[in-house]
Every structure is written in C-alpha cells, then in structure tokens.
C-alpha cells in the first residue's frame, strides 16, 4: 500500500514564510541607513555592528522561510517570486555599499562584479526558461554559493570594527568573497548551459 502524502497547500500572502521574505526586503534600506550613519560619524562602530546584525537576521530568515514552507508544505506564487528577489536585493545592496565604503577595493571589485553579473544573468535566464515552462532546480552547489556570499559579506560588514576584535576580519571577508565568486561562476555556467541547450532545441 502506497504511503499517502499530504498535499502541498497554497499559502496566503500573510503566511509566516512570506512574512519572513518581506522582512528580508525591509532590512535592505535599514542596512543602507546604517552605512549612511557610519559615513556621517566615523568615530563610532555602532552603526556598522547594527548593519551586521540586520544582515545576519536577514540571512537567517532566508533559511527559515524555505524551511518552514517545506515542513508545513505551503507554497505561494508570491513567495516563489519574492524569495530570489529578496536574496539578490540584499546581496547587491551590500556589495554596492561595501564598494562605495572602500571595504571592497582594487582587484576585489572584480569578485563583486562577477557575483552581481551572475545574479543578473541568471535572473534573465530563469525568466526565459519559465516562458518555455522549463524549471531549473537549485543545486546543492548553488546553496553553498549563497552561503559563501552571505558569510563573506558578513565579515566585510564587520570590516574595520571587526578588525579591532578579531584581526584580519576584513582580509578573511575578501578571501571568502573570491571563493564565493569562483563558485558563483561555476553555478552560473550550469544555468547558462541549460539555457543555451533549450535555445538550440527551441
């Protein structure tokens, strides 16, 4: 006798997983505000620690919104659309802030460019493949890519404030950013290859 599986329910716009996604989007302008305060008063690291705390909170919601949606077997078209947008907004905003702040400078700018370019290109490919009714599942390596990006950005957000507590915090963040960029290139190639295959077939 086959095991009966509980059908996936369509979640409403105010379900907890969706609320966590909304919270992640709302964190973006708050992180920007923290950096604005840091620029106005270089004598304090408080705003930088707040930016880090908000980013960590947003990163945790990124895990829990998907986790709760799975264990509660809830899906939402709105959630599916907003979840990757929230991730890309958070990463892009932080990378741009860190570049403007000088935490990411020199050759390391290219690592940030690779990450941002990949995210934009993959978004376009996903939209194209969605029109063809083709779904490209998120691989385990892509999940590691996201984790590496989040960890590297967290180190860089701490930046000079973190260096006072743990030496080489900024350097560790830059090294992890390059690792994240390399993994980003690999996962981006996987999406590009899938997209080209369907373009040729089409």
Tell me: pLDDT of 11 over 90. no
Geometric angle at alpha carbon 28, from 25 and 29, rounded to 5°: 115
Question: Which domains are assigned to the chain?
Answer: 10-201 (1.20.120.1760)
Is 29 within 8 Å of 9 (Cβ atoms)? no
CA 75 to chain centre: 20
pLDDT at 19: 83
| pLDDT range class, residue 3, cuts 50, 70, 90 | very low
Residue 116: how many other CB atoms lie within 10 Å? 18
pLDDT at 94: 93
How long, in residues, is the chain? 202
pLDDT in tens, 58-104: 988 887 777 676 777 767 766 677 777 888 899 999 999 999 888 99
pTM of the model: 0.83
pLDDT in tens, 103-145: 999 999 999 999 999 888 877 777 766 666 666 666 778 888 8
Main-chain phi, psi angles of 10, to 5 degrees: -80, 115
């Amino acid at each position: 006798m086959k095991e009966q599986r509980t059908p996936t329910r369509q979640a409403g716009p105010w379900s907890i997983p969706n609320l966590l996604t909304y919270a992640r989007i709302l964190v973006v302008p708050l992180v920007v505000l923290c950096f604005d305060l840091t620029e106005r008063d270089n004598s304090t690291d408080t705003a930088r620690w707040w930016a880090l705390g908000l980013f960590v909170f947003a990163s945790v919601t990124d895990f829990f919104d998907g986790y709760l949606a799975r264990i509660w077997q809830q899906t939402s078209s709105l959630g599916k659309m907003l979840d990757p947008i929230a991730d890309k907004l958070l990463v892009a905003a932080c990378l741009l802030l860190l570049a403007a702040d000088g935490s990411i400078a020199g050759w390391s700018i290219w690592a940030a460019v690779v990450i941002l370019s990949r995210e934009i290109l993959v978004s376009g490919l996903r939209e194209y493949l969605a029109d063809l009714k083709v779904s490209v599942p998120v691989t385990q390596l892509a999940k590691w890519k996201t984790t590496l990006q989040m960890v590297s950005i967290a180190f860089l957000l701490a930046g000079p404030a973190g260096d006072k507590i743990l030496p080489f915090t900024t350097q560790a963040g830059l090294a992890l950013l390059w690792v994240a960029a390399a993994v980003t290139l690999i996962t981006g190639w996987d999406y590009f290859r899938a997209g080209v295959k369907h373009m040729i077939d089409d």
